Amino acid sequence: MAAVNRILFVCSGNAARSPMAAEILRSLGVTRSRLRHVVVESAGTHASDGERPFDGAIEAMEEIGLSIGGHRARLLTPDLASSYDLILTMDRDQARTVRALGARVEVA
């Protein structure tokens, strides 16, 4: 597998699951040298650009010492999808959407 330098997490609204996953992986990069150079971001298949995360997601992350309060949702576009080495979706429907945008997706 080629080097992975840019990772995108994708959910539906980009207001809970994908920003939470991205922040957790970013936090691991602080302590794991192999992840320090990796760009980790998130987007949503049905996101409304600029929306804030759900309050419950913000609170859940604060409970584990992480913050997504400054996150703003963004819609997954073909250009955005094509700029990542690895795209991780939260479910198969989102994987189908990513594929339809022309990005390569492997479902595990």
21 belongs to a structural domain: yes
pLDDT digits (tens, 9 = 90+) for 41-55: 999 999 999 999 999
Q: Is 62 helix (H, G, I), strand (E, B) or coil?
A: helix
108 belongs to a structural domain: no
106 belongs to a structural domain: no
pLDDT for the residue 107: 54
pLDDT for the residue 39: 93
105 belongs to a structural domain: no
Task: Give strand pairing partners of 42.
Answer: 9
18 belongs to a structural domain: yes
The total of structural domains in the chain comes to: 1
Provide, for the chain, the percentages of residues in helix, strand and coil under a 3-state DSSP scheme, each rounded to the nearest 5: 35, 15, 50
pLDDT for the residue 84: 93
Which domain does 66 fall in, by range? Answer: 6-100
1 belongs to a structural domain: no
pTM, entire model: 0.91
The pLDDT tens digits along the chain (108 residues) read 577 889 999 999 999 999 999 999 999 886 677 777 899 999 999 999 999 999 999 999 999 999 999 999 999 999 999 999 899 999 999 999 999 998 766 554
107 belongs to a structural domain: no
16 belongs to a structural domain: yes
What CATH number does the domain containing 90 carry?
3.40.50.2300
**Phi-psi sector, 50: left (phi>0), alpha (psi -120 to 50), beta:** left
